[in-house]
Structure 1
Amino acid sequence: MERKKSVYKSTPAVIGVLLALKLLLLRIFFFGEIYWSGLPGELLSVFGLLCLAELLTPVRAKVGVYWSLNALLSFLLFSSALYFAHFGTVPTYAVLSGLNQVPQVRASVSALLRPEQFLFFADFVLLGGLKIVQLLRRRSPRSLDSFPTEARQSRKWSTNTVAVVLLLVSAAASFFYVQQGKSIDNELVRAEKIGFLNYQAVAAILSREEDLVIAEGNIEETRARIAELQSSYPYLTASEGTGAGRDPHYFGVAEGMNLIVIQMESFQNFPIHLTLNNGAEVTPVLNELAGEGVYFPHVYQQIGQGNTSDAEFMFNTSIYPTAAVAMSTGYGNRELPSLPRMLQKRGYTAQTFHVNKVTFWDRNKLYPALNFNQYFDKPAFENDHFNDYGASDEEMYRVGVEQMKDLQARNKPFYAQFVTTSSHSPFVVPDKFKQIALPPELENTNLGNYINAIHYTDYAIGQLIDQLKEAGLWENTMLVLYGDHFGVQPSETSAEEIRSALGIPYDDTISRFNIPFIIHVPGKQLGIVAERTGGQVDLMPTVANMLGLSLKRENFTALGQDLLNIDRNVSGVRYYLPTGSFFNDEILFVPGQGFEDGEAVSIRTLEPVVDFARYRTDYEYVLSLMKLSDEYVKLLPKR
């Protein structure tokens, strides 16, 4: 009996120590060190949870509740460490609710697993071992019912008193940390300063406060404020060719043409025009398209939690992701102003193709919200077993061309969106699909696998073009290609390895987030390399202009800009990088706790920029613009 009482009394302390150690371990995964200044907030939040468990749980269930709480938090901390390894962002409770998508990308997740991440469960392994030893010795613990009632009651009052006092102290301290955290935009700094659990409280409070403000908002007023804010930024300093009554440059060069948009999975910009040391050209098809059309070498990803689906959302809407939830999940119930809607007014049929199940990332909600006429998902394709998703890019294009031929036969112009998957991590290309010979030093490396996958994506696009020409579709079809997000993880392939193996400049942030954007218009030898910096919200306004769609005349609220008709640009980012980060024509800026303690790197030289004070207006502008973007999308009518 005395041994059992001792075990019970020690359980809260043991669990408290274990959870504290696990939160310290999480800080190492997040920040590379513990950062002792934020430790009190971390530990006090644990005390608060344990005190609640002590006060609300019946005596018989306490030991089980404590260990269950430990198990739940261990899983959440493990998931958060794994999430951070991929996204470089501290997850919120809303983000972790998307764990149901993990089985769909199990191969990608498996590639991120490291032995040290499983330390969150080390205590359970040890406990299991002790239980096995106990069973082997055939010792059965005695029941808690053997506690004398008076002893239990006396201990209960004294323990409850201590728990109440500690709970009040923890709550007061957490309130202080939460208030402090609300004023910090940088999510990583916020988590460091106030602790992981308090960080979740701040996320919930800020979301609630924003929802209350927006609930009283008016969408037309928000649109007017967006227009007013955008007019305050000097996007255009030259008036030649774009004055009153004049159409923008390249307006309508593809008017009336069909539109094919290819969103390329995990496709970074550095493979474009890259030749390996054995003379192999990595992207010969895209290189030719870039040379004939318009190539934008300084476009950067802006995706949020939804990754690929967020890129689809942005291309079709020119609205920033909120970063709190995948846009397909959070806003798939809205009537989204979109490119398909504008083209449908002109008689176009809008179709989208993706070889996975349409329920992946709730695309079954996103596509109706964007107003695509039809989508083609897994059942529409013959599975040639390319990767975990199933069919290859070639099979996707085969089905797509059949659909486009049918529309052509009925004299229907079309907008076809293709979302590729063959270059998805972990970049394993089956032997029968491999199209490039790698140098020996790249064989069986993550970088070599990536180049293999990228080259196959390029090859499949070439096959699509051949089919379009054979079907008589090529000469009347504008082709747009862009990357959805980065592919190479720094944890798997270092910047130094890329620089050494490929002989190119490479930065773990700037080069990683740099994606290609290419527009090809048949019969137009444009041959333009557009140096303007842009983001994914800028893609649709640029494409719309070339199609002869005036967003102004359409009364369309776009958060991005036409990259061919501005002299200056700034693109905000708040996922994979903290809120307040931005790319402009000169630098990447990443804030610290605020602007003053931030860091800047030149996007041209990849060298640090010490004097970045003149960019404060860009920082303040993107914060305001993204806030208004969130307000706008939340006010859109539900369908």
Structure 2
Amino acid sequence: MVAIMNTVRRSTFWTTFILVMLKIMLFRHFVFDNVEIVRLFSDAAAILTLMFVLELLTSVNWKMTVFTIFNIVMSLLLFACTVYFTFYGSMPTYTALSGANQLGQVQDSVTATIQTKDYLFFVDFVVLALLYAVTLRSKNRVTKSTRVGKPLYVAIALLLTIGASALYIRANHDISNELVQSERLGVLNYQVATAINARIENEAIADGSVNETQAALEQLESDYLTGVGAKVEAGSNSFFGVAKGMNVVVIQMESFQDILVGMDIDGQKVTPVLDDLIKNSFYFSNVFQQIGPGNTSDAEFLSNTGIYPTGDIAMSKGYGDRAIPSMPRLLAKYNYVSNTFHVNDVTFWNRNDLYPALGFTKYYDKPSFTDDKFNAFGASDEELYRVGMEKLSSLHDKNTPFYAQFITASSHHPFVIPEEFREIKLPAELEGKQLGHYIEAAKYTDKAIGDFIQALKDKGMYDNTVLVIYGDHFGMQTKDNDPAWVEQTLGMKYEERLSRFNIPLIIHVPGIEGQTSTKVGGQVDIMPTLANLLGLNLKDEGYTVFGRDLLNTSNNVIGMRYYMPTGSFFNDDIMFVPGTGFDDGTAYDINTLEPVADFSQYRDDYDYIMSLMKLSDEYVKLSPKR
């Protein structure tokens, strides 16, 4: 073993390279389910580039320490990217990884996501530590090398690896599908390509203006709708102004998928409150999440603005310094007070920047609530609504119209709630399973909403309040809930993406007979739909949105990225996921959840969504700073 350790010391560079490349192969196996040798050349070029730089900058006596640190850093990066992919289904960029400081707030979720196999990235350190311990015990000291390096050869090799990386990036930088691009380039070159593309995009809009983007959007809509079907603008037809002057309460349910609505477990309803509310509400059963790396905070951004997240950074972090056109800002013109309630600290996902950016009058965060230690976030949904009712009652008593947003947290991953709050008896096959915990948490979420609705009625506020209730994003992770097992256990069709990303949207307007719609929609459509009900014509108000009023749209198509690659979309017929582009993509029937072989007739939808999201990105990037 001493001889082995001495060999490792003498060949630190190549030992480190081999170890890192083995971990790259492990990473590709975990994330992409394959290890294509040809793809490893891009990884090798990037790794060698960094290592040659270190070789040139490091003295002989420090090489083992420096390359050991490099190995550690790469191991941590690959570990983090693997865990990130497991949770998000996306390859993280340097901008997404910059939000790692938020992980402490969701420690339980992070811990639940890590799998035992992920620790294989660190096995070599255990082996090397044992070898090092043996050499110490043998007292066999290795004399420090005084050999002179060969900087010229290393510099030439460095230029060659930089050139190779540049060629790989140039050949693949224009692929919009992030997963395909990252698989071809590898984790390091993918970061470089992302930075280059971001610079190109920012330079392209540097001389642009919001007005130019608005004009381009109008032209895009006009071109797309030619021969496709007329879109009725918000405020020009059905249900316009039926809720004019009413208060608005928006409830964003944590991790709430649409499959929970109407679910029955051994004769026990999981969502009896929502089921009853739907009977007299507008219920959209084919609405899908559209969030980016900001998750819940991105859902807040979407529902309040009708603007797509950029997908590369949480909107609260990247654009919290802007004055974003939003529902709170619009309603402020009509003397509404806008409050938002969340039991976590307001700095979580930079909400202390997000809420001013969205124009909220006031926010209530962790110090406003009594911590009943419901879960890692602290206070329960019941406590959330208790405080909310106090504040809203005060406004009601002053005859002040309000727009109130509640961000629930009691059904947050990993969904384990205190035993005294569990109100459903699970069958044996669900006991101790994530799906079982998820159902228990959803049942509690539903009950708390019911108590809140009753409080609104008791206070005489219910008959003058519009209720908007929707899910922020999926709950069940595929790694813990095999789709085939879910189908068998629940007795329903369950597709890994269509079912998982499907969230409920319920809008209750007092005195208006609702209806159930299977029209496809997204979180980007919530703001224009609500504006129509409140009698606010967004075009007349000078507001630009990238969603549609679901009550007055003859057809719809929405884009999604981050949890699926850019270019993915949902329309009233299919869910489409691109390959390198449209032609090699895949599609699923939105009703049967079965694969669709021929989707060629939907190319216009693909081109439209690609252009629409690009314009949305331009719009938010050009929005004025506060």
Seq. identity, %: 50
TM-superposed CA distance for 1:60, in Å, is: 2.4
Question: Using the alignment, how far apart are the partners of 2:228 and 2:4 within structure 1?
Answer: 80
Change (3 A) 1:409 1:596: same
Question: Using the alignment, how far apart are the partners of 2:327 and 2:479 within structure 1?
Answer: 37
Change (3 A) 1:475 1:217: same
Question: Using the alignment, how far apart are the partners of 1:140 and 1:354 within structure 2?
Answer: 61
Aligned to 1:275: 264
One-letter identity of the residue aligned with 2:620: V
Aligned to 2:171: 180
Aligned to 2:582: 595
Aligned to 1:549: 536
Aligned ranges 1:248-287 → 2 under 5 Å: 248-276=237-265, 278-287=266-275
SS in structure 2 at match of 1:458: helix
After alignment, is 245-254 or 414-423 more displaced? 245-254
Aligned ranges 1:241-390 → 2 under 5 Å: 247-276=236-265, 278-390=266-378
After alignment, is 474-483 or 169-178 more displaced? 169-178
Question: Using the alignment, how far apart are the partners of 2:194 and 2:536 within structure 1?
Answer: 39
Aligned to 1:520: 508
Residue deviations 1:518-569 (CA, integer Å, cap 9, x gap)? 000112222x011210111111111111111111111100010001111111
Give the alignment partner of residue 221 of structure 1, picking from 212, 222, 229: 212
Aligned to 1:47: 48
TM-superposed CA distance for 1:50, in Å, is: 1.3
Residue deviations 1:466-506 (CA, integer Å, cap 9, x gap)? 11111111111000000000000010011112111111111
Structure 1 gap segments, 5+ residues each: none
Aligned to 1:608: 595
Contact preservation (8 Å) 2:235, 2:537 = no
One-letter identity of the residue aligned with 1:587: I
Residue deviations 1:576-616 (CA, integer Å, cap 9, x gap)? 10111111110011011111111001010011100011111
Aligned to 1:629: 616
Aligned to 1:505: 493
Change (3 A) 1:297 1:180: same
Contact preservation (8 Å) 2:8, 2:15 = no
Question: Using the alignment, how far apart are the partners of 1:141 and 1:79 within structure 2?
Answer: 36
SS in structure 2 at match of 1:496: helix
After alignment, is 501-510 or 7-16 more displaced? 7-16
TM-score by length of 1: 0.95
Aligned to 2:23: 22
SS in structure 2 at match of 1:557: coil
Give the alignment partner of residue 582 of structure 1, picking from 566, 569, 572: 569
TM-superposed CA distance for 1:165, in Å, is: 2.7
TM-superposed CA distance for 1:53, in Å, is: 1.0
Aligned to 1:573: 560
Aligned ranges 1:444-463 → 2 under 5 Å: 444-463=432-451
Question: Using the alignment, how far apart are the partners of 2:230 and 2:606 within structure 1?
Answer: 26
Question: Using the alignment, how far apart are the partners of 2:71 and 2:534 within structure 1?
Answer: 57
Give the alignment partner of residue 480 of structure 1, picking from 453, 460, 468: 468
Give the alignment partner of residue 396 of structure 1, picking from 384, 388, 394: 384
Aligned to 2:160: 169
After alignment, is 364-373 or 429-438 more displaced? 429-438
Question: Using the alignment, how far apart are the partners of 1:562 and 1:225 within structure 2?
Answer: 20
Aligned to 2:189: 198
Residue deviations 1:92-122 (CA, integer Å, cap 9, x gap)? 1111111111111111111111111011111
Provide the aligned length of Structure 1 versus Structure 2: 625
TM-superposed CA distance for 1:312, in Å, is: 0.1
TM-superposed CA distance for 1:134, in Å, is: 3.6
Residue deviations 1:247-296 (CA, integer Å, cap 9, x gap)? 321111111110000000000000111112x1001111111111111000
Give the alignment partner of residue 221 of structure 2, picking from 220, 230, 246: 230
Question: Using the alignment, how far apart are the partners of 1:203 and 1:73 within structure 2?
Answer: 19
Question: Using the alignment, how far apart are the partners of 1:11 and 1:340 within structure 2?
Answer: 59
SS in structure 1 at match of 2:403: strand
Residue deviations 1:445-465 (CA, integer Å, cap 9, x gap)? 111110000111000000001
SS in structure 2 at match of 1:531: strand
Structure 2 gap segments, 5+ residues each: none
TM-superposed CA distance for 1:4, in Å, is: 9.1
SS in structure 2 at match of 1:571: strand
Residue deviations 1:71-107 (CA, integer Å, cap 9, x gap)? 1111111000000000111111111111111111111
Aligned to 2:400: 412
Asked if 1:535 corresponds to 2:526, the answer is no
After alignment, is 91-100 or 331-340 more displaced? 91-100
Contact preservation (8 Å) 1:571, 1:582 = yes
Contact preservation (8 Å) 1:301, 1:536 = yes
SS in structure 2 at match of 1:512: coil
Question: Using the alignment, how far apart are the partners of 1:222 and 1:38 within structure 2?
Answer: 39
One-letter identity of the residue aligned with 2:196: I
SS in structure 1 at match of 2:354: helix
CA RMSD, 1 decimal = 1.9
Question: Using the alignment, how far apart are the partners of 1:455 and 1:338 within structure 2?
Answer: 32
TM-superposed CA distance for 1:318, in Å, is: 0.7
One-letter identity of the residue aligned with 1:248: N
Question: Using the alignment, how far apart are the partners of 1:454 and 1:236 within structure 2?
Answer: 43
Contact preservation (8 Å) 2:346, 2:352 = yes
TM-score by length of 2: 0.97
Change (3 A) 1:238 1:320: closer
TM-superposed CA distance for 1:138, in Å, is: 5.7
TM-superposed CA distance for 1:573, in Å, is: 0.8
Question: Using the alignment, how far apart are the partners of 2:166 and 2:229 within structure 1?
Answer: 51
After alignment, is 363-372 or 49-58 more displaced? 49-58
